């Protein structure tokens, strides 16, 4: 597959179906790659949110223990 070239098609050139198809396919590949990156980042964020919930629960437990010891 051809890499997207923003200089094509050149001004006043005749339209070429293969060239245009390559341009569109290259753009589609870029969009798909960006979506895959976004999906991976979302998965990381979700995992980190779960870790934060677990940490907050652990902190609350420790605070309860400290309060009981101080009691």
Domain ranges of the chain: 47-71
What's the whole-number mean pLDDT along residues 13-26?
Answer: 92
For the record, the structure tokens of 13 come out as 């050139």
Does residue 2 carry a pLDDT above 80?
Answer: no
The full DSSP string for 29-47 is: HHHHHHHHHHHHHHHHHHH
Mean pLDDT value of segment 57-61: 96
pLDDT tens column, 28-50? 999 999 999 999 999 999 999 99
* Cα–Cα distance, 56 to 59 (Å, whole number): 5
Q: What is the pLDDT of residue 71?
A: 78
Q: pLDDT at position 1, please?
A: 62
């Amino acid at each position: 597959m051809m890499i997207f070239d923003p200089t094509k098609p050149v001004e006043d050139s005749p339209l070429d179906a293969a060239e245009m198809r390559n341009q569109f396919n290259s753009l589609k590949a870029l969009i798909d790659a960006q979506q895959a990156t976004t999906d991976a980042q979302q998965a990381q964020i979700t995992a980190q949110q779960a870790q934060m919930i677990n940490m907050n629960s652990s902190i609350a437990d420790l605070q309860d223990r400290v309060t009981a010891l101080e009691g």
